[in-house]
Amino acid sequence: MSSGFRDFLASLRGPVSVYSEPEGLPRHATWLELFFDLVFIVAVAELGAFLRESLSLVAVLEYASLFILVWWTWVGFSYYADVFDTDDLFSQVALIVVMFGVIIMSQTIHDALHGGSFEFAAAFLVLRLLYIGLTVRGWYMTGGSDKFFSYWVTFSSLSTFVWALSLFYADPGRFGLWTSAFLLEIAGIGIVYLVFDTVPVQVSHFPERLGLFTILVLGETILAVAAGTEGADWFLRSGITALGGFLVAVTLWWLYFNNFDERTIDRVLGQSELHWLHMRERMLVYVFGHYFVFTGIGAAGIGLEAAIEASIAGHEIEPVARVVLAGGIAAFLLGSSVCHRAMPTPIHDHLFAARIGTALIVVAGAVVGSHVSPVVATWLVAFLLLGLTVVEGVHRYSRSSAGAVEPEPGP
């Protein structure tokens, strides 16, 4: 056997280790991770198409349910790449295989809750098995003696087993098993991070990964704004509505990234024994809270598209579309408020209250604004978010001028 071939085989076996950076330099997403995210654009687009085609309150709940499963798939593989140093050929090839699996799963989303649940469950199960296989490999190659990873793998395996059982049941029992599998894994994550005083302390870039997924979903919102004007003559009314929708997307971006801290998880994992439990609780809230950020942005994009189409047609926004738009904005504001409140350097009480208050105003406007034109409705939301952005920017500037400690700079 040639030495070159032996080196190739060695590259398949490793190295895999808990990621560390001895120089203490910030860690960033690899080119493969950025490439990996592209396939989730397909999944998010399929979710948006599903909600757009069957705009109803039931569809909103179904959209939220499917979104959490798609997002959780992304979280699992992103967490694996965050904990382990996966710069080896086997991991790279495996993640490329996963990418194709995500494409297959994406094509089953539309009918996942309407006659096509078996196909979705099977595709999701394959991805889960790949995730567990990669995690077990990483655990084994780092020594295989860490109790944290043994419990992590155990809970993930139990969750996947429950999901696999769903293949043998019909709807709606299958959906109940999906819910049980997801809740079991959430409980497992809470247990391993809140019970074990010693956990892997990697140099984390997971906040950056969450930020990149935020950009991904915002991109779908921009596409939704563009889709709303497709094939239409750009007369004044539709153009103004589209501009308002674009401004909404910009303010959502600004509100999120103006409080971004790429070292959030590093700061949590580096806490002393006195504060580790409280800080890890906040870390879990920070990660899980992003679900509302992402679903909110996605739903808001669909609502904006509906508003632009209503403006072109010259009629009012449909009631469900108003709910989707307002609910999406409110979910984003609630989720981002909780996430930014859970960071080691949280947003100020007044800013937290301002976001919650803005969310309530937007929801109230959707309830009482049944006769408001699409142009006015879109711009009212845009002005509310723009005002909130200005308030937060002024507050940040004033505290920085006074020498207060702030998170690392945003946009």
Over residues 101-128, mean pLDDT: 96
Report the pLDDT value the prediction gives residue 15, as an integer from 0 to 100. Answer: 47
- Amino acid at residue number 125: L
Report the pLDDT value the prediction gives residue 205, as an integer from 0 to 100. Answer: 84
Q: Taking 80 as the threshold, does the pLDDT of residue 161 lie above it? A: yes
Check if the beta carbon of residue 97 is closer than 8 Å to that of residue 130: yes
Report the pLDDT value the prediction gives residue 199, as an integer from 0 to 100. Answer: 75
CB atoms within 10 A of CB 95: 20
- Amino acid at residue number 81: A
Q: Which two tokens stand for residue 53?
A: 């085609």
Report the pLDDT value the prediction gives residue 239, as an integer from 0 to 100. Answer: 81
pLDDT band at 408 (very low <50, low <70, confident <90, very high): very low
Check if the beta carbon of residue 267 is closer than 8 Å to that of residue 344: yes
For 120-141, the pLDDT digits (tens) are 999 999 999 999 999 998 888 7
Determine the Cα–Cα distance for residues 346 and 368; give it in Å rounded to an integer: 34
Q: Which two tokens stand for residue 81?
A: 């790449």
Q: What is the 3-state secondary structure (H, E, C) of the chain?
A: CCHHHHHHHHHHHCCCEECCCCCCCCCCCCHHHHHHHHHHHHHHHHHHHHHHHCCCHHHHHHHHHHHHHHHHHHHHHHHHHHHEECCCHHHHHHHHHHHHHHHHHHCCCCCCCCCCHHHHHHHHHHHHHHHHHHHHHHHHHCCCCCHHHHHHHHHHHHHHHHHHHHHHCCCCHHHHHHHHHHHHHHHHHHHHHHHCCCCCCCCCCHHHHHHHHHHHHHHHHHHHHHHHCCCCCCCHHHHHHHHHHHHHHHHHHHHHHCCCCCCHHHHHHCCCCCCHHHHHHHHHHHHHHHHHHHHHHHHHHHHHHHHHHHHHHCCCCCHHHHHHHHHHHHHHHHHHHHHHHHCCCCCCHHHHHHHHHHHHHHHHHHHHCCCCCHHHHHHHHHHHHHHHHHHHHHHHHHHHHCCCCCCCCCC
Q: Nearest Cα to 193, choosing from 142, 132, 268, 143?
A: 268
Over residues 361-366, mean pLDDT: 93
Over residues 3-13, mean pLDDT: 55
pLDDT winner (highest mean) among 6-20, 144-158, 231-245, 346-360: 346-360
**pTM of the complete model beyond 0.75:** yes
Mean pLDDT of the chain: 86
Three-point CA angle 231, 235, 236, nearest 5°: 135
For 190-219, the pLDDT digits (tens) are 998 888 877 776 678 889 999 999 999 999
Check if the beta carbon of residue 254 is closer than 8 Å to that of residue 319: no
Over residues 142-162, mean pLDDT: 85
pLDDT band at 367 (very low <50, low <70, confident <90, very high): confident
